[in-house]
Structure 1
């Protein structure tokens, strides 16, 4: 599973360079974000960091999508058959490689070792985030974000929004 995700991450990185339309580039960036969060969640003891990272990236991608959609709304979206064939071939090869690696007993042994170690360490790592030294930093960040949200809402005028259609 990990091999497939790593190969798909590298594939989306190479395909990102071939994209010419801004929306397809944004989609490839979204795929890279998803794959990097999945890899991060497999390597860490708790999934919280990858969830937070994914939510932050999605928020940024939504803002970028609004900007790109307003700038390049009339461009034609073209599919390249060479790129699609390359993508399909690499996906098939990746699935075949992953299938052979999943049958090995070494992966099962490593999975067993990882599961026995993570139960205790996962609880400790989650507790560290909300104990005294880091709790103050978390509370400071939460209060700062709340005050920033309130001030941005008060500063902006709804009727003079930047992306509103004028009738």
Structure 2
């Protein structure tokens, strides 16, 4: 089950090496974030945790993209090179082979429609995240996000910053 998202993540990482335009890099990072969110949902069976993480990550990516696009001069995207095109075709072939060679090819598509894959109660799904094995990781993540939030609030102001308007 986790082989398809892992293959997608590896192939997108391989494509990321050959990208140089900020728009294409941003698109690849957004796709990778969505694949990781789906992968996290299949592991934890909690949609709200995955949704909050994805929204926080994508909002940070939007801020970084706005900053980078204001710094980088307007450049047009060139046509794909043969290496990128061949790696994209190879990625699609690998995905097709993974779906065809799986015991149940429709399993990937029926996963979202089958009610047995959804958690039965909210308390059980929350317990999966904050159990004793992952408690230290969750506390470290919460502390890190709090520190980053405080730092970003302290560093930004309306009158100063890279995205200020010129008078």
TM-score normalised over the length of structure 1: 0.65
Where in structure 2 are there 5+ consecutive unaligned residues? 130-138
Q: Does the aligned pair in 2 maintain the 1:9–1:32 contact within 8 Å?
A: yes
Matches within 5 A, 1:67-78: 67-78=67-78
Helix, strand or coil for the counterpart of 2:63? helix
Q: Does the aligned pair in 2 maintain the 1:16–1:28 contact within 8 Å?
A: yes
Which residue of structure 1 lines up, in the alignment, with residue 133 of structure 2? none
**How far does residue 92 in structure 1 lie from its aligned partner after superposition?**
2.3
Specify whether residues 102 and 68 from structure 1 end up closer, same or farther in structure 2 by C-alpha distance, changes over 3 A only: farther
**How far does residue 124 in structure 1 lie from its aligned partner after superposition?**
2.1
Which residue of structure 1 lines up, in the alignment, with residue 86 of structure 2? 85
Deviation sequence 1:15-38 (CA, Å, 0-9, x none): 111111223222222221111111
**Counterpart check, 1:94 vs 2:99:** no
How much is the aligned-residue C-alpha RMSD, in angstroms? 4.0
**Counterpart Cα distance in 2 of 1:117 and 1:20:** 40
**Counterpart Cα distance in 2 of 1:81 and 1:117:** 41
Q: Does the aligned pair in 2 maintain the 1:23–1:68 contact within 8 Å?
A: no
Answer 1 or 2: which has greater helix percent.
Answer: 1
Helix, strand or coil for the counterpart of 1:90? helix
**Counterpart check, 1:13 vs 2:13:** yes
**Counterpart Cα distance in 2 of 1:128 and 1:15:** 34
Q: Number of aligned pairs?
A: 149
**How far does residue 161 in structure 1 lie from its aligned partner after superposition?**
6.7
**Counterpart Cα distance in 1 of 2:10 and 2:55:** 22
Where in structure 1 are there 5+ consecutive unaligned residues? 130-136
Specify whether residues 81 and 162 from structure 1 end up closer, same or farther in structure 2 by C-alpha distance, changes over 3 A only: closer
